[in-house]
Chain A
Amino acid sequence: MKRTVDVSIPVGPVHPCWKEPTRVKCETRGEFVLSAEVELGYMKKGIERIMQGRPWQEVMFLAERVCGICSVIHNMVFIEALEKMSSIEVPERAALLRVIVNELDRMQSHILANFSYCYTIEHETLGMYLLDSREKVLDELERITGARITCAYMVPGGVRFDLRSEDALHLRASMDMLEKEITRYTGMFEHGPLIALRSRGIGILTRDAAREACAVGPTARASGLPESDRRLHHPTYRKLGFTPISREEGDNFARIMMRFQEMLQSISLIRKCLDILPVGPIRGGGIPGAGEIAYSGEAPRGELSYFIRTDAAGRVIDIAIQTPSIMNIEACCHYMLTGVASMADVPSTFVSSDPCIACTER
């Protein structure tokens, strides 16, 4: 006679589908997942502690190193927090260049997240296509900022390098090519019957649960919470007429589709920036001084918040970073994974929330 027993199944810390080490302990009854809990601590950096007492000129480089995937937004939020604290103005050209670089960063992060999901559900062909597109985005980032990942592009009062006219032309051509590719891959994902089997109706995060767990970013927007997008509050994005996208399903499929849709949105935002990019300075000057601020920006994974206190010399006295992955991993493990019908769906559901352990263990 067949027996069903209650067991605790650990997934990780080292797992072929995890990009970084973490341990998810699933309590199961047969194949049915009853609950899950997370153990962290395999790659704690203590970066907030390292930042304390250092001048902002050093901390801006450290901030980028919190995450190796979405480093641009850490740089942007830290610098914009300092600017807001010390009332430093940014020239319009620089503000638009920041949006271009930030959206390129969002695209490469979303592509990597969707690659990881495709890889996890064994659709490696689409995964590899996506990685090929990511290289094009990283090439554009390198062309504008001089680096692929840790760009340190934003400085108080502006940006480091201007966009040359030939680079702008190249960027437009790349956006045209990427739009075609992403549209094609979105179609592949949307209409793939095997993808649907592994993704639709699995790992559901309801709107109420998303709100309760403070889920953010594409994870929240795939559960019908468009107002969670911090870009709605950013002056440059508002000038560009930004409106967030959202979906209602709240399952793995919705989260991946959400990222595909946001990539196309990023392309359109970059084009808008290029269309209205004025001629002018890229640095307005200004030195950060003493103050205290809580400032948030929209990272590829959701709301990223910095709580900073500086002294008159611009040294960071206190700093706390709240990364979006903290909220999204919590939402994933305590809401999405609870009730998953098969252990086989645990890795894919976990990856669909785009967990960044480096951010979580900052």
Chain B
Amino acid sequence: MSDTAPEVEKYAASSGSSENSDILDLKDDEGWEDAEPDQEDTQYISLMDDEVFTDINAMLKHCKENHGFDFLEVRQRLGLDFYGNIKLVNYIRFQVHSGQKVSASISKEDFEDEKYLKPVLEDDALLFSLDELPEVLEDGQSAEKGKGVAEPGALVARVSELEEELRKMQLQFDNYRATVSQTLDERWNERSQSGPSKQDGEDKEEKRDDDSHYFTSYSYNDIHETMLKDTIRTDAYRDFIYNHKSLFAGKTVLDVGCGTGILSMFCAKAGAERVIAVDNSAIIDKARENIFNNGFADKITCLRGKVEEVTLPVDKVDIIVSEWMGYCLLYEAMLDSVIWARDKYLKPDGLMVPSHMNMWVAPVTDPDYIADHIAFWRDVYGFDMKAMQAGIHEDAQVLDMPASTLCAEPFPFLQLSLHTTTVKDLVFKRKWQAKLKQDIDALDGFIIWFDSFFMPSREDTVPKDVRAEEWAKAEKKGIAFTTGPDGKVTHWKQGVMLIDNTKAQATSRKEGEELSGELEYAVPEDNSRALNVGLTWKFGEEKEASQTWRMR
């Protein structure tokens, strides 16, 4: 879930134009036009028989005049919401298809079953055009039962708010208006449950809100495109879920931070009975549409809000699936929420997906990077800009380092077992050590990465010092992937902590020299979503050095 760190750069980004020039290679464009939705000949199949119309109103008129069924009157009488409309359509189609009559005195109970959320007809144009029909008026009487009667003033205000919101949304995706109006209903409901929203100005002034930027940053397409196109990441989840369908069959799954809904849909496709997808970002509106368009609306429930605040429709879940990993694994602190959800909702024998994380640290030497990005400031168009060097060593960078920059074998400094890890395990101080495998001119820094393991049973263990690439190669149980320099690059790249060698001349070192120290993860007081990484190191019995880096 990481793409918000500001220091993200391509490794050696200065190579400039050459790496950008290949993006627009020109080839033929066969097939593109086919991918465009064909909007011209929308066909509405009659609710009552097989006749086909190109106009929705003509179709409904046909039903009314020739079959005595006034769809508009029925939906108005029943005061149906978006889901209600969909169920009604599918119920009618189901009845007609199986040769049964549908009477105009139909009641809500007739099509209460969730199964009617599933389209009976493939690509039923009527379902996508429901909002072209006149609005169902809320007149109090039509709210048949179960719902408390809202105050007229509040109702009017709510309706006008909805209308305003709707107008804006329609501009954005007019093709999907039908789904959107439902989205709004749900969102308003959730907002009233989850207390003050992040737009609440007063709240913002009172206390610092580390979260709103975090959630906003996940509301744009780009970041989701990056994550979905990170095949190492997405393939791992897909492969685990599809290779272990028996684990998911008939189960209830919670997806924490669902984003576009991809993991929820994997689970539903693998046979999960029910999936609850939670995200506090606006992207969940898209997730809802995706889920609906792919026919999983009856299986997957989307809830917008923090997992700590939303009300789940179930008490317990069998499986929690989440892609919560950040830069250096713990940047953005999403794991806290996953652990909270586990403690509250996961059954005692439930499964966490993924299940284990092994974290690695290794010393690096990279003279080219230092020359390009640090020595650069010594002479910029004839000016001394060394002042710009200072901060480079204060922040951790996110870079994909070539494996050749590692000057020692990586050291496994921590394993998190997701079934048992607690929030206090996420701030820690661990010893580490390494032995140089080559001569180096200078120790330039350290890199940190993590390996993810997906084990099919909560009894399964993973050795604390096993690397994901070895695990996968040995075809051990489950699925594993690495974000380290030996694997294919992921969007997490690696966390790079550069040692400040600008003040004292760095010493050259010989192969075989040993170094050791401590590695600390801490959460800074001023930003609960940031991360401080501290390292100490010393060669043999020499004086110990230390430095702290921020990820923000």
Say if A and B assemble together: no
> Which residue numbers of B lie inside 8 Å of A, CB to CB?
none
